[in-house]
Structure 1
Amino acid sequence: MRITQKDEKTVRSKLQAKYKLLGTTKDGCRFTSKALELQALRLQEASAAYEAVQRELVEQVVAVAHTFVEVWERVSALLAELDVLAGFADLAAHAPTPYTRPCMKASTYIKAGLGTGPAAAPSSKGDCQQRGVSTFMAEMLETAAILKSASPASLVIIDELGRGTSTYDGFGLAWAISEHLLEVVAAPTLFATHFHELTEITGTTGVSNLHVSTFMDPKTGKLTMLYQIRTGPCDQSFGIQVAESANFPASVIALAREKLAQLEGTEVACLKRVGGCAFVMITWC
């Protein structure tokens, strides 16, 4: 409660007898009573109890809703398919030449509309927390689906093949996947990768390398993206330059260059020890 300083002087004796003075400022005198303090304490306790019950209720709702995730995903897929089939039925019913069973061959626009066949591979959507699937595991599941369902009539597009794991694991998987698509599936394939060593697969018939060109100013070291597609593999990575363009701290950039030089020296030493015939699987992005 608050009264002006002028009124406070008038009722000062009563305030001191029944009320507790909290402080005096330019805009007045603030005071409270034991009854009001008790009510404030009860309100605070009630608010804390309300928040505790609210948190418990939210946890229960999430726990129950979590069990229906797969059911709703299935319902969504069925409704989507039913919507497409209903559209086909409406088309068949109102077509100038009545028909009931259109011919749906692989890779036709009709089958693509149904969301099945070689052209139906999904794009990467990251992790799936509801099912405990990491980003890398999600990409492996999608890649496995591509390897199983792709046909020579498919067009396979993969971004950053082999990312999400260690250098050696990623390179081994990237090489095996690309070789399987090339020799077993025989499907037209386009993929991007940060493994320079993977460009050696061009020794196989039907494979070619392309890269997006860049320009590095020899004086300032500034990197400029030219956005031009050129033949051949990229001769180096520009991860440190990109980090520098993103205004990384100078100390971080300096340490990155130092570690890069150490790793490059290790690579050269390994090549010398095996007579220059080793397939070194080290890359920097």
Structure 2
Amino acid sequence: MQDRQIIGLIATFVAVAELGSFKRAAEVIGRSPSAVTTQINQLEELLGVRLLVRTTRNVRLSSAGEQFLGRGRRLLNETERLIRDFRGQGDKLAGKVELSVSPTIAVSLVPKVLHLLSDEHPDVKITLYEGLRDDVLNSVERGAVDFGIGPYADVPQSLSFERIFEQLFHLILPEKHPIARRGFATPADLHGLDLLCASTGATARAVLEEIARDAGLTVIPRYETLQYPTLYALVAGGLGATVMPVVDPNFLAASRLVAVPFQGRKVSRTIGIISRRGEPITAVSQLFIRAIQETALRYRDHFQLSV
């Protein structure tokens, strides 16, 4: 059996598995139900395992089918991207990049990267999905995006994490606060502050809790929220202080806030590229990755990054 025939069998299996019905899959891919059944039988015979369990009422995946579905999806997605990126392009670099990125990177570095690429490579199309840890890792793992960017180094076995820079954390305070006038902070300063925190499970919260532990403190937040703009707004409203990266220096200045560094220690988290282990990165994806590395280096002082 030729490779392209095998790809067709896999595509039919993925359609049946996702739709849960031979009939609905046949309607979607434009074949008869009997042809779909024949293709599934051929795939199972080729593999020597049962992928689908059929009953009179429904179709469900076997344990082997569940494993095959994930890898089959990734194969089809990568095949589609490969053809899309190179069809008719000749020597001109073009194509599409789809990526999932953490919020603080999405609003700081990514706009500058997009501006750079739109000028130098107008034929490269970029689709951006913003998400927290589970969203980013799941979308990369199932092949919904080409890669991810974020502070999520503890990836599952199927993924890899490659560092690109460190995102430094500061104590965010109103500009007239005594600690702000002093010009530096210590972990002990957290004891006397109303803390505004990222929600439990967020990497920013883990950074804050590590600082507090070093000072023998327990974090008892006054308010918790997921997004950094809300934390900044609460600080600007006089409700306390937070420990976060310098995501938007202009927003800080406009809100009369300052980012105070911690004295004698580097408080940071590692930002990296999250990709599927063993799967090559496409040329257009490599272009984006190089662009974000160059942008981080160029704007390291502006966003307080350690490259």
Q: Which has the higher helix share?
A: 1
TM-score (norm 2): 0.24
Larger radius of gyration: 1
TM-score (norm 1): 0.25
Q: Which has the higher strand share?
A: 2
The structure with higher relative contact order (CA 8 Å, sep 6+) is 2
